[in-house]
Every structure is written in structure tokens, then in C-alpha cells.
Structure 1
């Protein structure tokens, strides 16, 4: 089974769905259960320790005093309240305005088990940071509200990355797809010699299109730099970077166009592993960061890396203020998940899904460039 998005009589334009975002989100609730290790902690200690990535201590203090937290259904405004085992805590986040995000999604492929979407650049996949409602997941929930269960993304694309996002419609499909993604990444660990074709059966292939700074001289490059993390302001779990002590990662880069006049190159990248921000890191590691990338520079490291400091200032809702330095969710770069080939997790048929190229790539393909294919 092959699925493509080119307009032909047998393959019409994909369906599009999506509701405009309301001015304010609906507000959210977050639930916690006090377990034995946390018994005896005060309310402020519990939240400032267990959820320090959400807000600084003074931010949590404001939320408690504002009556945004209940214990066993009762609003508690005393931050020194001692917690007991089994108590249910609920933090109520007030409705708020979220930054701009596109809302329309194209359906590239759909059956009883899977749905593949064409995600626009600027739309986050799952809730996090400043985007709690304006996400792909929310649009799926709204679109599928009359169905028994909502499809869920089985992998992520960066907010600034466009293209194919695969979602599972059943628990079985989700389990099998998760195993397939994990298996693809694990193959890198056991097969560092990329020219040694240990497994000739293609179970999954992810191909991206990218626009990079500078002229890449080699027609093909294999990048195997490991990817690890380092402490970075505004990124609670650490920023992913090129690191010799990190986890194995493998990207195959193929040059499509060289635009000498504008000093950039259009490349196709197939990733063997799926480390976060892998393509951005690998291309910057070889000295050709994505054009417009606000974060990664030559060497696969961030443009700015101030020491980790304790910042007790907070935004209006008690959370952290938007970092002054660039963070991974910032947009501006050109990266598109163009093609996905995989064995269907239920039927075992071969699926080929293609997301149309955004205008910037079409323009570069038609420009006067040096083609090295």
C-alpha cells in the first residue's frame, strides 16, 4: 500500500481540519497523589520540589495564596500545610492567552489504525511551556470528540518543523509503533558500520528536507556524532547537543541543490535514530546549521549558554518567564518531514506517505542552483 499526496484522479487532495483557537485557553488541572516518600512535606515544599520545572518557589507561593490548589477537594491557601499519605492535590491553572500558532492540519493517510498528519511549522505537538491548548493533540481531540478514543502522536516533531506526524488510533497500533520507533533507534547502537547492511528489510525510513547555511562540498555525508544533554537556562531537563559521551545517533545527508549565490544548500536527510533535534544538531555539528536556526551553531552546540542560575522571578501566572536566550521551541529554521516509509503495524503492508514541500523548498528547487544529484 502506497500513500502519496500528489493530486491525481485516484489520489485527491488530502482532507483538512482544525478549529480556530479561542483567545483564552480553557485553563487546566493537574492532579497529584501524596505517597509515602512525600508524607510530612509542606504544600509549598511539595510543589517547589516535585514541580520545580513548572514554576520557581515564589511562583508556587503565589499560586497557593491565590487559592489555585485544593487538598482533598478543599482550597488550601496556607503554604505550610503538612501533607498526609493518600491526599489528592489538584492545581488549577487559570485560563490564559497563548502565543500565536496555526490551527489547520492536513490528513495525508488514515485507516482504522493510523492517521498521518501534515503538521505546519509553528504548531506544537503536545502540551508544554507556553502552549497548553494550542497543540496538535488538542485539534485531534476536538476533531475526534464523538469517537470512543482520540488518536495520539507516537513521535514528536519540533514546533518549528513541518511535515509528517504519525498518530495511533488504537492501543495496539500505539504499542507496535512505539516498538518500531525504538527498534529503529536501537539498530544504531548495534551497527556502527553504516555500510554493513545487517538488516535489508526496511521497517521504517524517515526522510527530511532541510535548508542549511553554506555550501556542502560532498554529495553525501554520514554523521554519527552522539547526542547528549547539558544544563541550559530555560530548559528544565537539559538541552540536547552534540556530545562524545551522549547516545548514538546516525544521519545520512544527501545534497540536492547548491545555491552558491545565496550561500546555502538544500539537502535530504534520512535519520536512522530519533534523538531530539537530531538533524539540527548534526548539520550544525558539521558546520552547516539550518538556515534561520535561532539556537544551534557550528559544532552542534547552542548559540548562547549562560551558566545555570537560580531565577526566582516569575510570570503573571506564577510560571517562569520566557527565557531571554533561544530555546529549542523557537522557530525560524527550515526543516520538513517529507517522507515516511514503514511496514504497517497491523497489516504489515508497506506504506509510503509523503507530505508536500512547503513553498520555501519549492522556490529553492526551481531557482538557479547547482544540482549534484
Structure 2
């Protein structure tokens, strides 16, 4: 790994080049059943969505599973109630991602970094090491004694922008409450119109390029956002849904490109729902340029309202 630190626009940059392979992962289980069960039965029954029977046999025989700290390669080993099982997932090469972060502001309480597009904030999916959190941890390790920053909000992998990271417990609690405040008051139109701008301590403003020409100078979108089951997304996909949670976005048009049939907009989100900007702009008929997932109406491109979401491939985006 190679490290880099130097001056960037508006502040210094830091980052360590990603190694070819990550460190793998470990997953811990505890046997709670009173009746006897074999090692292969436990994994093929409780984690059949992770791998088929043959896959778990191979992992056991490879020595990737320990029972109470001891490697066990016999899949027919009978487990005892209370035993601790650990599955060691082998290291893998994560998808390409940038690693340099630009420091915009830093004091004893927080650090604000400019997160580049393509870098995930927290571990998830294929990205377990190539994240903002890892770079922050490595930076602290190289400068022993400094408090370890922790991101207090998220920006999607494909989104660039300012990411606030707390360096103390007090800062984390305060910043988290500031972010939560704006979301909690969404839904009360009187409160929003009279008090938000005066009481809000953190504002979230983004710029985006959307398809089509937005005629109005400003559009306020208050479409709730909920979740549906969707192939390739383990915990479900967020979409425009009347039964979802309240969400509000203020959209101001900055430029209109008639020839390209595109509009450059500035979006201030009062709430912080996942995928909110993508969903809201597609909901009003102006999806983000290049968005492979959300179509007009704030639903997935391949979503069938009668039969559910069809399998049209992985999204590849987190914003």
C-alpha cells in the first residue's frame, strides 16, 4: 500500500492506496438448539441463502470454519448447544474505488472531508474495506493519539460532496441530532414553511443534472418514500410510495439546456431518506442523467406493479 498526503483545493488530501485484496470477513454464530445437529446441517439450513449445500461443504473442507476456536473440517461433526461457530470468508478483490480524501475543515471535534464519487462511506456488499471509514481509521493509525473520526451521515457511493465526521462522542451526538431534526419536522407544512430555515442547524444542498426541461423555477416535492422487495438488493429497494415515510425536497432550476434536453438543478433536502434525490426527481418526470435504476414515477425501471419487481440486473449505485 502506498500513502499520499498533500495540498488539495481548499485543504490537504490524505489516503492510502487500496491493497489488491481485502482482509476477508468473519461471521459468528452460536448454537442454541438443544437437539444434536451436524456442522453441515447447521450452515446449509441457517445460511442457505449465502451458499448451496455444496458450497458449505467446500468451505468446511477448506478449513474456513472454526468451532469454539478450533478448525473443523469434518462436515458431519455434531455440534453442542452453546458452541460458537466462526465462518472465515476468504479475502477478495473489491471493485475499483478512489482512495484520496480532501480535508475541508478540521478541529478537535469534527472533520469535514470532500468525498469523491465512487467511494462508499461505510462497509456494505462488495465494499468492506474500500470505504471512507477505512481511510479515516488508517489515518488515525498513522498519527497515533488522534481521536478516530466517525461519519455521522451518509453520501451514496456515486455522490460526491461534504461528509461530516465526528471525532468525539459529544460531537457525534450533537451532529446526529441536528440531522435528525430536519427529518423529524417534515410532514408539518406550517412548521416547514415558518420555522425550518430559522431553526435548522445543518442544511443539505446538492446539485444534479436531470433529463428534460423543468419549466418551473422552483418545485417542492413532498412524495413519501418507502421500500419494496427487489432482486439483487438484500434489504429491499427504496421507492416513491404513498405508504412510506414523509420526505421533502426543494428543487431550484439553475440552467436549462434545450439542445441537450437537460436541466441543472440545486436540491435542498429537508429530510434524509435513502435515494431521496433520485426518487423525487424521477417522481416528477426528470430522472438523473445516467441513472440506470429509477424511471419516471420514482419506481425502478423494470418494476411491475402487479407482479412485483422483475429481475433486471444489479443497480450498481447506492445513492
TM class by shorter chain equals 0.7 to 0.9
Verify the 8 A CA contact 1:304 1:326 in the aligned structure 2. Answer: no
Distance 2:257 2:82 in 1: 63
How much has 1:116 moved relative to structure 2?
Answer: 1.0
Distance 2:184 2:48 in 1: 32
Alignment of 1:1-373 (within 5 A): 13-32=10-29, 34=30, 36=32, 43-44=39-40, 47=43, 55-58=50-53, 59-79=55-75, 81=77, 83-145=79-141, 146-147=144-145, 149-189=147-187, 191-193=188-190, 196-199=193-196, 200-305=198-303, 325-327=313-315, 329=317
Structure 1: gaps (5+ residues) = 1-6, 310-322, 336-373
Distance 1:20 1:258, change over 3 A: same
Provide TM-score, normalisation by structure 2: 0.86
How much has 1:293 moved relative to structure 2?
Answer: 0.7
How much has 1:247 moved relative to structure 2?
Answer: 0.8
How much has 1:44 moved relative to structure 2?
Answer: 4.8
Verify the 8 A CA contact 1:98 1:130 in the aligned structure 2. Answer: yes
Distance 2:189 2:39 in 1: 49
Distance 2:116 2:46 in 1: 34
How much has 1:197 moved relative to structure 2?
Answer: 1.2
Distance 2:45 2:190 in 1: 44
Distance 1:28 1:302 in 2: 31
Distance 1:242 1:81, change over 3 A: farther
How much has 1:35 moved relative to structure 2?
Answer: 6.7
Verify the 8 A CA contact 2:183 2:272 in the aligned structure 1. Answer: yes
How much has 1:239 moved relative to structure 2?
Answer: 0.5
How much has 1:255 moved relative to structure 2?
Answer: 0.5
Distance 2:67 2:214 in 1: 59
How much has 1:104 moved relative to structure 2?
Answer: 0.6
Q: Compare relative contact order (CA 8 Å, sep 6+) and give the higher one, 1 or 2.
A: 1
Distance 2:9 2:137 in 1: 25
Distance 1:216 1:222 in 2: 12
Structure 2: gaps (5+ residues) = 1-6
Equivalenced residues, count: 306
Provide TM-score, normalisation by structure 1: 0.74
Distance 2:112 2:28 in 1: 31
Which protein is richer in strand relative to its size?
2
Distance 1:255 1:142, change over 3 A: same
Distance 1:246 1:118 in 2: 31
